């Protein structure tokens, strides 16, 4: 391949061109029925996506951030609560906690899986909290605020280690809201239940995003909540629609957070291809692993524990020369990304929480070293060879410097 080869970080054109006739017919149906908000397209997609996630309820909403916020509020999170999540995530995870008027507090991630470290979650609850005898829930010793929920993030399409997280949550009477925004179809093997479980079916509720670049993406904004709790489901249905259970009869203050019918119709078409696309991503990941193996320890490939069947929303490697490597790949026409360069506790909007560099060292070190390579269904072996070749070229030049 020539030096000019352009390998994009993500390809959002090809899948839509392949499905163009079906997608255009969704648009025509929407126009001809004027079914723009709610109706059979939204309900049809909600039913299909609930089934896909092994969850009894699905509520379509305006975005993944809406999904997280509504799920937290519906699960009973209140102003002044502490909700625990990870620093290595998209800021929306923490934003949704703040928007539900709770305060995010952070549990560092595992250095290999980049998801919430259950041992550190346990240590936080044991060492920094007292258990309130009335509620059975922990109270943060320093701030006297109650801890009421945990938001584990299934980052890069790999599940958090849910067995211990769910066990700790049950012990402390905490709600668990999965951030499954990068994990449509992700599976986790529960030793406790001796079966594979789908992301979105394990916590009290889960949030999905259908932002265009996600494994299941709309042609615009979209999101969904899945839950096995019918009370949380009906609360989320009200919250997305101005708190009304019946038109113009408002029971609670809600939001304008509905999923467009057009997007629901598009998502329903694309959902039929999601399992195949996820399998193609898994094959791409396997090929990258093999191609990068000869580079040894200088490039760390994603760690996949035996309990994990990820959907590789992102394929993230690790290098101590990340910035130079990214520059080299960019010059070779290879698109890359960093997810995410600044951990949430060090982002400006959270300066008031008073965290410093050093507070969550595993997330901070990862943020300095991670690099997301091109990854999408349809990425072929030849293109991947070009990526791997460019990385090898950089590494050998670096080694002889
Ligand atoms: C994309 C994403 C969100 C937010 O979803 P939006 O649809 O963009 O609001 C939240 N959390 C994670 C981990 C995400 O990747």
pLDDT tens-digit profile of 189-208?
999 999 999 999 999 999 99
From 90, 116, 312, mutation site for ligand 1 pocket: most ligand atoms within 8 A of C-beta: 90
Centre of ligand 1 to C-alpha 214, Å, is 9
25-to-32, 247, 335, 350 alpha-carbon distances in Å: 10, 30, 33, 45
CA distance 79 to 93: 17
Centre of ligand 1 to C-alpha 298, Å, is 31
pLDDT value at position 370? 98
Q: Cβ-count burial of 398 within 10 angstroms (0-12 exposed, 13-18 middle, 19+ buried)?
A: middle
CA distance 191 to 195: 7
User: In this structure, are residues 315 and 302 in contact, taking their beta carbons and an 8 Å threshold?
Assistant: yes
Interacting residues of 362 by C-beta distance below 8 A, sequence separation 6+ = 108, 109, 110, 111, 117
pLDDT value at position 153? 98
- Residue with structure tokens 């979105």? 200
Q: Assess whether the C-beta atom of 343 lies below 6 angstroms from ligand 1.
A: no
Centre of ligand 1 to C-alpha 68, Å, is 9
CA distance 178 to 91: 15
Give me the phi and psi of 54, to 5 degrees please. 55, 40
Centre of ligand 1 to C-alpha 212, Å, is 11
From 62, 63, 65, 225, mutation site for ligand 1 pocket: most ligand atoms within 8 A of C-beta: 65
Look at residues 199, 242, 239 and name the one whose alpha carbon lies nearest to residue 71.
239
- Residue with structure tokens 């949430």? 344
The tokens of 196 are what?
A: 């594979």
User: In this structure, are residues 44 and 60 in contact, taking their beta carbons and an 8 Å threshold?
Assistant: no
Q: What DSSP state is assigned to residue 110?
A: P
Angle of helix 64-74 relative to helix 92-99, nearest 10 degrees, comes to: 40
Q: Assess whether the C-beta atom of 209 lies below 6 angstroms from ligand 1.
A: yes
Q: Assess whether the C-beta atom of 199 lies below 6 angstroms from ligand 1.
A: no
Centre of ligand 1 to C-alpha 153, Å, is 10
Residue 248: count other Cβ atoms within 10 Å of its Cβ.
6
Q: Provide the CA 190 distance to its chain's centre, in angstroms.
A: 19
Centre of ligand 1 to C-alpha 178, Å, is 12
Measured in residues, the chain has a length of 401
User: In this structure, are residues 315 and 283 in contact, taking their beta carbons and an 8 Å threshold?
Assistant: no
Task: Provide the total of helices (H) and of strands (E) in the chain, helices listed first.
Answer: 12, 16
CA distance 151 to 154: 10
- Residue with structure tokens 């909540």? 225
pLDDT value at position 12? 96
pLDDT value at position 297? 86
The tokens of 23 are what?
A: 């997608």
pLDDT value at position 1? 45
CA distance 25 to 51: 24
Q: Assess whether the C-beta atom of 93 lies below 6 angstroms from ligand 1.
A: yes
CA distance 190 to 161: 9
**pLDDT tens digits for range 220-265:** 999 999 999 999 999 999 999 999 989 999 999 999 999 999 999 9
Mean pLDDT, consecutive 10-residue stretches, the chain (401 aa), reads 76 96 96 93 98 98 98 98 98 98 98 98 98 94 97 98 98 98 98 98 98 98 98 98 94 97 98 98 98 93 98 98 97 97 98 97 98 98 97 87 58
């Amino acid at each position: 391949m020539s030096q000019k080869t352009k390998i994009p970080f993500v390809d959002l054109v090809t899948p839509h061109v392949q499905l163009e006739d079906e997608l255009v017919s969704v648009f025509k149906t929407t126009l001809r029925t004027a079914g723009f908000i709610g109706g059979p397209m939204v309900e049809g997609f909600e039913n299909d996506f609930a089934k896909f996630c092994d969850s009894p309820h699905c509520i379509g909403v305006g975005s993944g951030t809406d999904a997280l916020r509504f799920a937290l509020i519906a699960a009973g999170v209140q102003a002044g609560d502490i909700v625990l999540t990870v620093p290595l995530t998209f800021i929306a995870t923490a934003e949704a906690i703040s928007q539900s008027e709770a305060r995010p507090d952070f549990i560092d991630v595992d250095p290999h899986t980049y998801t919430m470290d259950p041992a550190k979650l346990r240590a936080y609850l044991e060492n920094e909290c007292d258990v309130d005898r009335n509620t059975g829930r922990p109270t943060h010793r320093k701030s006297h605020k109650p801890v009421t929920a945990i938001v584990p993030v299934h980052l890069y399409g790999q599940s958090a280690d849910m067995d211990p997280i769910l066990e700790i949550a049950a012990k402390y009477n905490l709600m668990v809201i999965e951030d499954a925004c990068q994990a449509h179809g992700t599976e986790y093997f529960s030793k406790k239940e001796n079966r594979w479980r789908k992301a979105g079916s394990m916590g009290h509720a889960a949030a999905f995003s259908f932002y265009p670049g996600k494994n299941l993406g709309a042609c615009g904004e979209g999101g969904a909540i899945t839950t096995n709790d019918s009370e949380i489901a009906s609360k989320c249905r009200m919250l997305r629609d101005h708190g009304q259970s019946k038109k113009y009869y408002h029971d609670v203050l809600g939001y304008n957070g509905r999923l467009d019918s057009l997007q629901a119709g598009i998502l329903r078409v694309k959902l039929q291809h999601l399992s195949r696309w996820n399998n193609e991503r898994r094959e791409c990941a396997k090929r990258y692993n093999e191609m990068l193996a000869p580079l040894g320890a200088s490039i760390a490939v994603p760690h996949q524990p035996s309990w994990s069947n990820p959907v590789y929303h992102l394929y993230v490697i690790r290098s101590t020369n990340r910035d130079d490597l990214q520059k080299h790949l960019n010059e070779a026409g290879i698109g890359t990304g960093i997810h995410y360069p600044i951990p949430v506790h060090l982002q400006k909007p959270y300066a008031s929480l008073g965290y410093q560099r050093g507070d969550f060292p595993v997330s901070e070190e990862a943020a300095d070293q991670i690099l997301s390579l091109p990854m999408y269904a349809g990425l072929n072996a030849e293109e991947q060879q070009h990526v791997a070749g460019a990385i090898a070229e950089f590494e050998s030049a670096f080694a002889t410097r």
